Amino acid sequence: MTKRVTILGATGSIGENTLDIIRRAEAGTYQVVALTANQNAEALAAHAKDFNAEFVALADPTHAKQLEALLQGTKIEIGIGPNALIEAAKRQADFTMAAIIGAAGLEPTLAAVAQGNHVGLANKECLVCAGEPFMAAVRESGAVLLPVDSEHNAIFQVLESDQPKGVKRLILTASGGPFREKTLEDLQTVTRENALNHPVWSMGAKISIDSATLMNKGLELIEASYLFNRPSAEIDVIVHPQSIIHSMVEYIDGSVLAQLGSPDMRTPIAYALGWPARIAAPVERLDFTQISQLTFFAPDLVKFPALRLAREALEAGGCAPCVLNAANEQAVAAFLAGRIQFLDIARIVEATLEREGRSRQFSCAPHDVAAIIATDASARRTADDHIVTL
């Protein structure tokens, strides 16, 4: 039977890797329903034509004319603006890949969840900013949430094949990013290009910076807490530079189960897309005779305060994770635009958490999506104020 597939964020790194798996499948395996993008009309139109999509949605209206011109003469329907992304997510699909970057993916992903079908979740920020209502929406619709983030996919695979009872802790592995061996002093002068140059993974710009600050692992800690319903104390982070072990689960009897593989996102993407069946992914196979060592280190929270801040936000609860995420998105954008230094990113996040926490005690209703969107907007304004006054 043909699987109807929608990709939210089709022009990004995860979106294009998903299309790569679909392209290699036997004809008739998948029908592409809807594809979305923010600004890149050219790539969106090219993918829509290649995969004969039914509908495309572009969030940024400034490129609407270009998209219309590129799709002229085709039967592909076009939607423009943020509401068009929600329309894309509402079109009947058996599987939706949620691969928009940032909290901008929250409402479209919730619309996909409401269908009650399979959702591959790459967009971790939407779970970080709205963990409680997001998981409630999943329970309500009966959707199957398939984690695509490699760490969460690894844990999902372990828990699916073993008993979910008797778990003592989850162990998230982190590559440590490009600056693992740098000193705090070195970090004062690292550039945008240094930060974008990840040693193991090839990813979009925002998550690459998050990997360099270790905020990515902090967001993943919060993501894991909501996805697997575990408190902060039962989730550890360990640096594993080879990125061969994608994460582990420790049981009460002392057993530790792990999922291993090459660091290539097409493995977790294929797992989610094919679930419950395994489908082929064109990734490099592990050759154990060539892996000379697997090493592990405790993360350095002085050099990488973002991970500490994320754990504190998770433990503070309420809307603290939403504030953390919003401030981080603003700070990373400012760093990518050359407006602030690398170490300022965590400073801005910390200052925003302090200011928003003082004024609200993080007491906003974390089950209310409208309140979360308002908190997100307020935290962005506070972060922007800090960026300007740096």
Q: Which residues bind ligand NAD (CB under 6 A)?
A: 9-15, 37-38, 40, 59, 85, 99-101, 104, 122-125, 149, 201, 203-204, 206-207, 265
376 binds Mg ion (CB under 5 A): no
- Min. distance of Cβ 124 from Mg ion in angstroms? 8
DSSP for residue 62:
G
Closest to Mg ion by CB, 153 vs 378, is: 153
Question: What is the closest distance, in whole angstroms, from the C-beta atom of residue 30 to Mg ion in the complex?
Answer: 25
How far is 150 from 208, CA to CA, in rounded Å? 14
Question: Least distance from C-beta 134 to Mg ion, angstroms?
Answer: 18
Residues of this chain, 109-168, that bind Mg ion according to CB under 5 A: 149-151
- The closest alpha carbon to 325, from 358, 280, 366, belongs to 366
- Which residues are registered as beta bridge partners of 236? 171
Beta-carbon contacts of 178 under 8 Å, excluding residues fewer than 6 positions away, are 194, 195, 197, 198, 199, 211, 212
In 10 A of CB 36, how many CB atoms? 28
Minimum distance from CB of 343 to ligand NAD (Å)? 22
25: tokens are 């499948």
Q: Which residue from 106, 108, 97, 41 is spatially nearest to 71, judged by alpha carbons?
A: 41
Residue number, nearest CB to ligand NAD: 12
What residue is closest to Mg ion based on CB? 149
Q: Where are the beta strands (DSSP E) in the chain?
A: 3-8, 30-37, 55-58, 77-80, 95-98, 118-121, 144-147, 167-174, 235-239, 245-251, 256-260
C-alpha pair distances (Å), 118 with each of 146, 268, 294:
7, 14, 34
Cα gap 267→281, rounded to integer Å: 6
Least distance (Å) from Mg ion to the CB of residue 150?
A: 5
Q: Cα(240)–Cα(249) distance, rounded to whole angstroms?
A: 15
Nearest approach, Cβ of residue 44 and ligand NAD (Å)? 8
Q: How far is the CB of 294 from Mg ion (least distance, A)?
A: 18
Q: Minimum distance between the CB of residue 336 and ligand NAD, rounded to whole angstroms?
A: 11
Q: How far is CA 78 from CA 14, 44, 57, 271, in A?
A: 22, 11, 6, 30
Is the CB of 9 or the CB of 177 nearer to ligand NAD? 9
CB of 220 to ligand NAD, least distance (A): 8
Q: Which residue has the tokens 């790194």?
A: 13
- Tell me the backbone φ, ψ of residue 247, rounded to 5 degrees: 165, 170
The three-point CA angle 177-183-189 to 5° equals: 85
- Of the chain, the end-to-end C-alpha distance in Å amounts to 57
Q: H or E stretch including 359?
A: helix 344-360
List residues binding Mg ion (CB under 5 A). 149-151
